[in-house]
Amino acid sequence: MKYIYGNFKMNSTVSDVKAYLMTLVTNTRDEKNEVAIALPYTHLTTAKEYLEGSVVKLGSQNVAEEEKGAFTGEISADMLKDVGVDFTLIGHSERRNIYNESDKSVNKKIKMALAKGLEVVLCIGESLQTKEAGKVESFLKKQLEEDLKGLYENELKSIIIAYEPIWAIGTGKSATTKEIEKTIAIVRDIVAHIYSEKAGKEIVVLYGGSVNPDNFKSILNTKGVNGALIGGACLDANKFSSMIKSL
């Protein structure tokens, strides 16, 4: 089974997404692969209604690290669970880089989400500067060790890792399949080092970063890749459905 996850980022309105979801639900009715979509907070209640009875999983793009309290503007895991959210993205590079979210914060968010019964898509990835300095492995090792700190191996069954090199996100420049295969193998080795060889083999790893209809199949056929986290190319329901169906 492959895992095809879409991330809307800050795009569309609730009015727009209704037609989108009707199309996506219709086009994925008999889908055997896992299809999921991470939407803005404002869309979630409406989306849950439209996705009822479908194979499409519903996710948020972030979650608060605290359970409740005086945190104006934050959305808690309980709130997300209450409106029917299945999973949440955590640690997307845009959250890390634009909003200065640290690995410590990411770690707290993962623990909070899991405690409340939400699945987690943990986003990791290096900058172009790190890549050119030849420090990809050490960077990802530090990121994963800090993000997964204090988590038990059995909790990994509720975590998906999305490897998204920052230099490939929204740039139109995807990593080559050779680069993807090499780095996904590194990610699995790091997980194996932290936990066990079994954990390294079984963890679900997605690739994200300028995934589009032209490179989608070759990326998903790359050794070690379980699926894709798709940004811009998921915003058109028919295009997104066609990519899923091409499998």
Catalytic positions: 92, 164
Beta-strand relationship, 3-7 and 227-230: parallel
Kind plus residue range of the DSSP H or E element containing 45: helix 44-51
List 100's β-bridge partners, or say none: none
Cα 193 from Cα 199, distance rounded (Å): 9
φ and ψ at residue 38, rounded to 5 degrees: -100, 115
Nearest Cα residue to 144 out of 127, 129, 128, 159: 159
Q: Are 235 and 8 in contact (CB under 8 A)?
A: yes
